[in-house]
Structure 1
């Protein structure tokens, strides 16, 4: 098994259906009260790549990509058009979009994250597949340039600062990102007749974890 650092064709992922999935375990007590818990620290996203198909040319593109990944065997990048940026919807990304750490005077390595919600209930999502060329960084609001100021691993989302920031400095970042996924099926069934009749195959895609 391997992960291919290649993005699923964006003209096909646009219009696809999907989003985050959580797993909640619910136990109903004799009193009628519930106890709820989850074994998952992070959501897992699912999509249907079939809903993005609009022509037989799209189908050929999909099959070529599917064969190159050998079905479920190899992972790949997926652009979630509803959630692909550090910035709020409709806003330009900036180096201060997301707080990714607070300097402790000893650490230069930080990982990209995205915050959902506010307060104690806020969820911090690990971002492991940033898009090359989109990542900007700031320390205490002062922008850094990739190369002289920091290095980025686009396969893990890890950032290493060139200079050690002073203790208490806020590290922020702006970026676009992909979701690491794989096909959740080893079979695609399609015919020219059904496609021209407006029917599209269901092609499930599921997020993979590092």
Structure 2
């Protein structure tokens, strides 16, 4: 199994249904009191893109994509049209030692905040990271020591931001804007469209699930 760095056809993905999913086991005692056990600490999204197939050309494109991924075998990038952007996202604070920071997206900032790990940022979509209000340069020049201090790289396969020099202690690290994909795979090994009319087919259920890269 491998990750194929390609995007599921976005026009087909538009019109899909689905979103984040947790797994919680609930046991109701004889008294009516509940006991809830959180089995998944991290979210895993599920989608169905069947409503995104609109014409024979798109179904042919989907067939090609399915063949190339070998069904469930290989993963890919998927755009969730309902949730694919960051705005002024804090990804950490400098401590003078740490050089690597994982991209995240936070939901409901505050005491109950949930931080979603983002492993597949979209190439070319990220505005310059700001450290303590200063805009840093991604993959900038490396000719002298002073310039190296403001440089960083982004790994677009795992979502890790790596600084050449650790950000100073106490400074916030902010990503002003960026877009991301969901790391996903097909959840079916059979391509079984229905022949609705002459020279026209549709696929009633196209399940896609998110892959959790790590805990």
- When the two structures are superposed, what TM-score results if normalisation uses the length of structure 2? 0.89
Q: Does the alignment pair 1:204 with 2:207?
A: yes
Distance 1:168 1:195 in 2: 66
Give the counterpart of 1:123 among 105, 114, 117: 114
Distance 2:68 2:59 in 1: 14
Distance 2:198 2:110 in 1: 48
Give the counterpart of 1:152 among 151, 154, 157: 154
Q: Point out where structure 1 has 5 or more consecutive residues left out of the alignment.
A: 88-96
CA contact (8 A) 2:138 2:152 kept: yes
- Larger strand fraction of residues: 2
- The offset of 1:11, in angstroms, is 0.9
1:17-37, Cα deviation, whole Å (9 max, x unpaired): 111111111011222110112
1:4-19 correspondence runs (5 A) = 4-19=4-19
Q: Does the alignment pair 1:177 with 2:168?
A: no
Count of residue pairs brought into register by the alignment? 201
Give the counterpart of 1:188 among 188, 191, 196: 191
Distance 2:194 2:163 in 1: 52
Give the counterpart of 1:141 among 109, 124, 133: 133
- The offset of 1:162, in angstroms, is 2.3
Distance 2:191 2:201 in 1: 17
CA contact (8 A) 2:78 2:184 kept: yes
Please give the root-mean-square deviation of Cα atoms over the aligned residues, in Å. Answer: 1.7
1:75-114, Cα deviation, whole Å (9 max, x unpaired): 0000000000003xxxxxxxxx111001111111111000
CA contact (8 A) 2:12 2:53 kept: yes
CA contact (8 A) 1:194 1:200 kept: no
- When the two structures are superposed, what TM-score results if normalisation uses the length of structure 1? 0.91
CA contact (8 A) 2:193 2:201 kept: no
Instruction: Find the residue that maps to 1:177 and give its secondary structure.
Output: strand
Distance 2:54 2:209 in 1: 21
1:20-59 correspondence runs (5 A) = 20-59=20-59
Partner of 1:90: none
Q: Does the alignment pair 1:81 with 2:68?
A: no
Cα pair distance change 1:201/1:181, threshold 3 Å: same
Q: Point out where structure 2 has 5 or more consecutive residues left out of the alignment.
A: 141-150
